[in-house]
Amino acid sequence: RYEEHEHNCYTYALAFINSVRAARGEQHISKSEFTEKFVIPQTRRASKYITLHQELTANEFYIVPLPQQENTA
């Protein structure tokens, strides 16, 4: 059953990761260590992109994909 702090999606995913790590002969990783090494860096990166996007759209810049370049081979 779901329990906010000890039995949730995050702990389920971490248990799976630790079972894979155990099968590889690697050490168990704690919730705080996993958060510090993997979750926080990705969250910071996403935050930078979100902030950049917000600033660009707030100042009436438009983001458009570049045209596809043709192969000249």
**What gap in Å lies between CA 12 and CA 26, rounded to an integer?**
18
The better pLDDT of the pair 3, 16 is held by 16
Structure tokens at 70: 């043709």
pLDDT in tens, 7-57: 899 999 999 999 999 999 999 999 999 999 999 999 999 999 999 989 988
pLDDT at 72 over 70: no
71 — pLDDT class (breaks 50, 70, 90)? low
Cα 10-16-21 angle, rounded to 5 deg: 125
Cβ–Cβ < 8 Å for 9, 3: no
The pTM for the full model equals 0.61
Domain boundaries, the chain: 9-55
Query: SS3 of 58, please?
Result: helix
